[in-house]
Structure 1
Amino acid sequence: MRTTYVPAFLVLLLAGLGTGVGGALLFAPNTAPYDGSRDFVLPEDATLEQAIDTLQTEHVLVSPATFRFVGRMTGWGAQLKAGHYDVEGARSNYHLLDMLRRGLQTPIRVTIPPGSRSSHIAHAVARRLKLDSAAAHAALRDTALARELGTAPGRLFGYMLPETYEFYWQTPARTVVRRIKESFDRYYAQHLKAGADSLGFTKQEVVTLASIVEWEAIHDAEKPTIAGVYVNRLREGWHLQADPTIQYVLLQTEGERTGRVLYRDLEIDHPYNTYKNSGLPPGPITNPSPTSLRAAVAPGQHEYFYFAADGSGGHTFSRTLREHNRAAEEYHRMLDKRRK
């Protein structure tokens, strides 16, 4: 059976008011009926009146007057702590004020989307935790933090493992980035390292290859096959010729990602241009999902060296350039028919 601890001064308050009246003020439910929970944010240095305004705006309080009275009589109304709070079920003035004075916050769920650029990840974090978006972006680009976490400068965003995390309101951006990177490291050790070692890939090479697969594939089922094509090209010493890396180059040089790569784009002099440079690019182009990461360390075993879009969101895979050209021609004929 759950019991409620009542501080000595509240016992005196109850005695002074009469146990019936005092008990009602303190322990009777003072939250509006609601199916589920309600959350609210109490800002820094909020006064008792500001807290009441917030609770009324969120339709939490039934009687602001009794909440105000108890807050003043206990002195707890002057001890409120900022944060993100959650109220579920019938709660009393005692419970609400005790929660706010002790800072018993509810963690905020932050979902990191896969296939995102650095600025989008920063925005997702900042929006949920009420942080400055520029500060969150700066944390992802922080050279000292990257080195501390064992990552090359400017590449932390690729290690932001797409998952849902829990943080407290206004957790510093560097702390958020550090925790997500540490989560990635645990995931890598448990699920990826053995496969990477068997292929002779470093952690950065795994993330880089997976990031290309992430941008290339729509269907998870195709990811191992696509990864296998790139691994086959690497083993044969071919240029990777991955269109997503050109899209990344365009994003860096022109500020936007294009849906179609043009022939002139293939001539851009840039270290991420895999049409001109051998091997994998210097780092990831996005943050890959777990399915893309697993595909990178367990690529399909096949003889495909090419693939072309098939018009359905998938691809046609080919062993020879002749087969690939036929598949590409078929795709373009289909596009022409759709335009008519």
Structure 2
Amino acid sequence: MTDAPPPRRGRVRRLLAGLALTLAVLAAGAYGAFHWAVAQYDAPGPLAEERAVVIPRGAATGTIAERLESAGVIANGRAFLVAAWATAEAGPLRAGEFAFPERASLRTVLDTLRSGRTVQRRLTVPEGLTVAQILALLDETEGLTGTVATPPPEGALLPETWAYSWGDTRESLIRRMREGMDRALAEAWAQRADNLPFDTPREALILASIIERETGIAAERGKVAGVFVNRLRRGMPLQSDPTVIYAVTDGLGVLDRPISRADLDTDHPHNTYRNRGLPPTPIASPGRASILAAVRPEATDALYFVADGRGGHVFSRTLEEHNRAVARWRAIERERRGAN
């Protein structure tokens, strides 16, 4: 008769056998899961139409899978995890906002996440806004982060359509706008006409900001510039209403009522009814066309202009002509008030 093995040794053998069986099951499961994921790798995904998804910075692969599955980009997060692990040598999964095409396969999804080609958003900054208005626009813009610690000087930002990506900072966009204005002003200044009544690019920028706020009609910019240049040469005050609005609104640039006589009498450095020459700073952010008009004004003998009631202006050589045009404009205003 043989001796029975000690009870402890039997338990160890049973544990080892159970562990081997478990590992075999797990291996078989992993093998099956791997081939299951491979089978789905190039299969069309569930997306019915293109969709953009934001992948947060520092997100783990599991978090990315959950976000994509929740957005309907992928059908199964486990298949995504296996595919991401199997193709890890292709590169890391990046953060940002990515656009996934209709029916994107796992291959396409992973290629998109590794490409770094994020969605290009666009922000249009209209001409003629003040710095305060541009900063308010940036505050409301989706996808930008951070705050602007120090507001830039008035007129320092170029109004254009600016591309940005989700997660870009407001400071970085402000920096690009300032660099854009510096380039635009330098390019225009290099093309300036002879004998301008000002000597520096900054003065040209100040005049351009007034032109920008005076007219939104492209064909009028050069002539408006010509009137202001004529007045500067003669030492006449510019008498520009937008400079008064800038003064009485503390730089906001928007007045929700007509200008009053008290406004015209406001003692403020930007009030060009009380002060001759250019104001001390720009009153808005001019576009490229207004900057070019300021340095290449149209030749004209006009010294005055007033609204014509149709969105443009009537230009006059003499005060008598101007007063008649002003009377017509005031009559139009009275008719409009009566109609309302």
Instruction: State the TM-score bracket (shorter-chain normalisation).
Output: 0.7 to 0.9
> Which residue type is aligned with residue 180 of structure 2?
S
Residue in 1 aligned with 2:226?
228
2:217 pairs with 1:219: yes
Structure-1 residue corresponding to 2:128:
115
Distance (Å, rounded) in 1 between the aligned partners of 2:58 and 2:335: 64
Aligned to 1:55: 68
C-alpha distance in structure 2 between counterparts of 1:325 and 1:307, whole Å: 10
Specify the alignment match of 2:113 in structure 1: 100
Length, aligned pairs only: 305
Distance 1:114 1:168, change over 3 A: same
Distance in 2, matches of 1:54 and 1:39, equals 11
Offset at residue 264 of structure 1 (A): 0.5
Match of 2:55 in 1: 42
Root mean square deviation, CA, Å: 3.0
Q: Choose the corresponding residue for 1:179, options 170, 176, 184.
A: 176
Whole-Å separation in 2 of the counterparts to 1:311 and 1:279: 28
Using a 3 Å threshold, how does the CA distance of structure 1 residues 313 and 120 change in structure 2: closer, same or farther?
same
1:326 alignment partner, SS class:
helix
Of 185, 188, 197, the match for 1:188: 185
The structure-2 alpha-carbon separation of the partners of 1:53 and 1:22, relative to structure 1 and needing over 3 Å to count, comes to closer
Report if the CA contact (8 A) 1:110-1:124 is conserved. no
* Matched-pair contact (CA < 8 Å) for 1:308–1:324: yes
Higher helix share: 1
Q: TM-score, normalised by structure 1?
A: 0.77
Deviation per residue, 1:253-276 (Å, 9 max, x gap): 789534521110122221111112
Q: State how far apart, in whole Å, the 2-side matches of 1:53 and 1:281 are.
A: 57
User: Structure 1 pair 255/228, CA: closer, same or farther in 2 (3 Å)?
Assistant: closer
Please tell me the residue identity of whatever aligns with 1:29: P
Alpha-carbon separation, structure 1, partners of 2:193 and 2:66: 55
Match of 2:144 in 1: 130
Aligned to 2:23: none
Change (3 A) 1:53 1:212: farther
Alpha-carbon spacing, 1:183–1:214, altered in 2? closer, same or farther (3 Å): same
Q: Give the corresponding residue for 2:45.
A: 30
* Change in CA separation of 1:120 and 1:93 when aligned onto 2, cut-off 3 Å: farther
Secondary structure of the 1:85 match is strand
What is the identity, as a one-letter code, of the residue corresponding to 2:143? L
Task: Give 5+ residue unaligned stretches, structure 2.
Answer: 1-29
Q: Which residue of 2 is the match for residue 316 of structure 1? A: 314
| CA–CA distance in structure 2, aligned partners of residues 192 and 94 of structure 1 | 52
Percent pairwise identity: 35
- 3-state SS, counterpart of residue 28 of structure 1: coil
Q: Residue type matched to 2:98 in 1? A: Y
- Taking the TM superposition and a 5 Å limit, the aligned residue runs for 1:49-88 are 50-52=63-65, 54-56=67-69, 58-71=71-84, 80-88=93-101
On the 8 A contact 1:196/1:206 being kept in 2, the answer is no
Deviation at 1:106, TM superposition (A): 3.0
| Residue 19 to residue 43, structure 1, CA distance change in 2 (3 Å) | closer
Change (3 A) 1:123 1:60: farther
8 Å contact 2:36–2:79 — kept in the other structure? no
Deviation track 1:167-193 (CA, whole Å, cap 9, x = no partner) reads 333223332222222222333333442
